[in-house]
Amino acid sequence: MKLANWRKISSAMDKTNLILEIIDARDPWTTRSRKLEDIARRKGKKLLLIINKADLVPRQILDQWIDIFKREGIKATYISARKRLGTLKLRKIIKREAPQLPAEVFITGFPKVGKSSIINVLKGHSSASTSSVPGNPGYTKHFQLYKIDRSLYLLDSPGIIPAEGGPLEMALHGYPPEDLRDSIGVAVALLQRAILSNPKLVKKVYGIDEKDPIKILERLALRRDWKFKDGEPNLSEAARQIIRDYHRYKLVFYVTPKDLGLSGS
């Protein structure tokens, strides 16, 4: 499965001239894939970082991320596919940054970063006229380039990067909470980040007035009646709920470059 995904990503890169790596504005650093970036570099393919879900993070923090990536020589821009912010600008950037026209765009990223939403936004403007490029023998249905307009073609199916890393990384890469090992450790880390981001958030979302992540999990479990036979709170169940609430935007917070020890400019 993992190998198959990478193989697909690699051949999709070969068939396009611009790669959009979609990352999550709430944690752009952890949702980027250095492996993807390395492969693109080796192939000599141009890659842009698209920080999606910009509606969830203040502009000032997004600009800090852009600077961080710029220092590495990677061009980044932010958009909100959901709120349609920056999406017209995105088309302009794509056409400007493509090594030649038409831009042939491949959208990739970890699960849940918003790949499908961005594909829909890009196609949306011209959905009626969207048609595949004729005369591409050898292209399987996974590699259909769709014409958005004269200078913009889009690979219809996104490249899904397999989740990897430790439990927190796996969770932020969209790995299902049910299958996660150490969901409690992940929830504790998320709650620490949430509290750092906004000390009142946990009280606001759950009505729990605690600062200690384990106590928060205990209170949440007892409140929802997630208990073992001996009456002890089932912390794993509460932990999985916290992770789901992060992915469902019930628990909304973000990390800054400073939080992750990346120095500002």
Ligand X SMILES: Nc1nc2c(ncn2[C@@H]2O[C@H](COP(=O)(O)OP(=O)(O)O)[C@@H](O)[C@H]2O)c(=O)[nH]1
Please say which residue, 35 or 215, places its beta carbon nearer to ligand X: 35
DSSP conformation letters of 5-46: HHHHHHHHHHT-SEEEEEEETTSTTTTS-HHHHHHHHHHT-E
Here's the x/- map for ligand X, 141-160, by CB under 6 A: it reads as -----------------x--
Q: Are 146 and 154 a contacting pair, CB within 8 Å?
A: yes
SS3 169: helix
Phi, psi of 114 (to 5 degrees): 115, 20
Interaction between residue 117 and Mg ion (CB under 5 A): no
Q: How far is CA 177 from the centre of its chain?
A: 16
**Selected binder of ligand X within 56, 74, 222, 262 (CB under 6 A):** 56
Nearest to 100, CA basis, from 137, 145, 45, 144: 45
Q: How far is CA 51 from the centre of its chain?
A: 8
- Give the nearest distance from C-beta 158 to Mg ion in angstroms: 6
Interaction between residue 249 and ligand X (CB under 6 A): yes
Please say which residue, 54 or 195, places its beta carbon nearer to ligand X: 54
Distance CA 153, CA 64 (A): 31
Query: Residue 149 binds which one of Mg ion, ligand X, none, with CB within 5 to 8 A depending on kind?
Result: none
Please say which residue, 115 or 193, places its beta carbon nearer to Mg ion: 115
Query: Residue 112 binds which one of ligand X, Mg ion, none, with CB within 5 to 8 A depending on kind?
Result: ligand X
Please say which residue, 119 or 216, places its beta carbon nearer to ligand X: 119
- CB-based closest residue to Mg ion: 116
Here's the x/- map for Mg ion, 58-97, by CB under 5 A: it reads as ----------------------------------------
Interaction between residue 30 and ligand X (CB under 6 A): no
Query: Residue 81 binds which one of Mg ion, ligand X, none, with CB within 5 to 8 A depending on kind?
Result: ligand X
**Selected binder of ligand X within 16, 31, 77, 80 (CB under 6 A):** 80
Tokens of 149: 């307009």
Distance CA 25, CA 126 (A): 27
Q: Is 65 exposed, middle or buried (0-12, 13-18, 19+ CB in 10 A)?
A: buried
Chain residues in the site for ligand X (CB under 6 A): 52-53, 55-56, 80-82, 109, 111-117, 158, 249
